[in-house]
Structure 1
Amino acid sequence: MNLDQASLLDELDSIRDYIRFSLSAFHEHGVFFGHGTDNPWDEAVQLVLNAVHLPWDTRPEVLDAKLSRSEKRRVLEYLRQRVQERKPLPYITGEAWFMGMPFSVDERVLIPRSPIAQLIETGFEPWLRPGPVDRVLDLCTGSGCIGIAMARCFEEAEVDLVDISADALQVAQRNIARHHLEDRVFAIESDLFAGIAPGTRYDLIVSNPPYVDEADLNTMPSEFRHEPGLALGSGPDGLDITRQILRQAGDFLSDDGLLVVEVGNSEIHLMEQYPELPLLWVELEAGGNGVFTITAPELRQFADSI
């Protein structure tokens, strides 16, 4: 399919035409869905509506509206990037959604999609102890979406967003400002806990660290090649960084604090290597896998065995 044909500008007129054409292009090129949508129809609708600056919930009557020539060119350019470059749609539009909130994204950060959102929606109940939450850490924050969502959940808490990547933190800082949270959400450049002041204690530490093992990393669809490799792979078994977090997190949690970590498919490796570790694997009703919780006392008890 040649997306540069001038004839397309004359043959296709309406939003509906371009959605249908995008669907055909997706099927012909075998694109992967999983960076905001999980099916070709939703992806096509979002691509075309974003290209013509219309919201996702635009009324169906608008689908038959004719596009201007400049709008047609922009749709085709978005489509070219999506099917020929295999660029995920949020990187094309510069925006992704997480827990109903918009976030600025580019290729310096992962596209938000963590199932940890399901825990944030319930305030981490029943795993987090009752009572006020004063200080929260989002470790390996990337775009800042998890930490900013937690700031919305715990309205009195201070939230630190930590990442080793200065580039990622520039994106996170933009999102802090976008959601007007500069007074209590702070971006910190640090290699895990290394840059956090000794004696700092958090009621809750949440992390979506790099966790893809080498086997999965080598077989991922082309779309993932646009995401920063630093944020995906973590050694042969995907657990290099998670092991560091487990060893150190107990020193930065309050006495009744909670650690929550997403390890995806690497949960199998973690369970095999540390069968004695009392990890509680969360049942994710809306889909996803590989999220565990563990309390501060449990971490400290088993620290020597990790």
Structure 2
Amino acid sequence: MTLEQEAKGLATGELLQKRGVKSDAADDGGSTPLLKAAAADDLKLARPPTSFHANPNQQNKEGLTATALTDQGPMRPLLENAASRKESFRKDPSLAALKLPFSSHGSQGKSLAPDTLPGNEEQSRQNLLDAIGRNDLELLRETLLSHNEAAQKSLSNLEMEGGIRPLMTVRSAEAAKILLEHGAQPNLVNTDGATALHYAVTSEDPIPIVAVMLAAGADPHVGDAGGETPLNWVKIVFIEFREAAVGEKLLKLLVQAGADINSADKFGDGLLHVAAANNNAPLATAALFLGADPARVNFSGDTALAIARRHGSHSVIPVLE
């Protein structure tokens, strides 16, 4: 993906491939990540948001839904199934409603060896997911404490489809603490190379969750399959969620923990390059304040200012000049 493509479709290129966090967030035209995936007839991009209850019937400003944008190809049954599961989720707003399949293999050799859980193994797994989805701390503790120490550790690092781990789905710092206290490993990766710290920066309550994970040894230097560290993922907070104040605090936390403010993706694009391409002055300002180098070039030889000028990013140009 080129930087120009990223600027036009960050919601699809980033949010869909990362996590179903705020999966129904819409751009200025009312298009959600799922709507964009349907318009592109891209099943790979459509699967993550549907897995996390994106609404296939949400309309953009033209009144079109993801379902309306598809023909009778393979996208259609995926959206119909998503609509059915969306209704179930309204009745049971928990991760247990996802009925995620569990992986029997390790993640790139980094998974724990599975331990046998006493009692009803499937029930323990569903209780764990239900507790995390509801942020039911009492149930979470009870579920873990009903097993021996080895089984607690195994359950806390349960590998689900795509290499997703319980710690990657927590909704509060308290839930993260409980999992970590019972053996959750913060640096395990999913199949895209992302850790729980990557997921934490785009969670519902990111600042305390990130702080807890960093204190527990989460590594801010780990890059995902696209070369992006958790610090790079903070761009989602600025651009997709439009929460600049939260994004600034997250960047400070990560930099204080040793993250490189000039960290770049596999194209050599750092936060300043992304801010320039998306005309996001708050992101550019925050990155510069923390020491980002405006003279740094990406692998195409472009500085952030060159990109801002090419894209007509009038809010960012004076910040970089």
Larger RCO: Structure 1 or Structure 2 (Cα < 8 Å, ≥ 6 residues apart)?
1
Identify the structure with the greater strand proportion.
1
Identify the structure with the greater helix proportion.
2
Same fold (TM over 0.5): no
Max Rg structure: 1
TM-score category, normalised to shorter length: under 0.3
Task: Please give the TM-score of this superposition, normalised by the length of structure 2.
Answer: 0.27
